[in-house]
Amino acid sequence: MHDASMRTTVTLNPDVAAKLKRLAHARRASFKETLNEVLRRGLSGQTGVAGARPFTVEPHPSGFRPGIDHQRLNQLVDQLAAGDLVDKAGG
């Protein structure tokens, strides 16, 4: 799948160049082959993001029994904790 190549000059940041060199060495491939592979993978990943469906939250019943105010659950926890404290103190 080698079409006509295009020669160009690219200035890489030193950290990117070092990572590419390490990757090329680990793969026993040339710097050019490694750069092309990384660019292909990065560019192909970009197309999936644009076409992705937006995330939506589907509401569902909370399962609380009638009479329990879910807005005041922290107060209920505080009351239960205070009751445990009284029980432990022997009151």
- Is pLDDT above 90 for 59? no
pLDDT of residue 30: 95
- pLDDT, position 38: 94
Query: Is the entire prediction scored with pTM above 0.95?
Result: no
Round the average pLDDT of the chain to a whole number and report it: 83
> How far apart are the C-alpha atoms of 91 and 30, rounded to whole Å?
78
Question: Looking at the domain assignment, is residue 62 inside a domain?
Answer: no
Q: Give domain status of residue 29, yes or no.
A: yes
Residue 19 belongs to some domain of the structure: yes
Q: What is the pLDDT of residue 51?
A: 62
Q: pLDDT tens, 14-56?
A: 999 999 999 999 999 999 999 999 999 988 876 555 567 778 8
Q: What domain range includes position 23? A: 14-49
For residue 31, being part of any structural domain is answered with yes
Q: How far is Cα 91 from Cα 81, in angstroms, rounded to an integer?
A: 14
| Number of independent structural domains in the chain | 1
Which DSSP symbol is given to 53? Answer: P
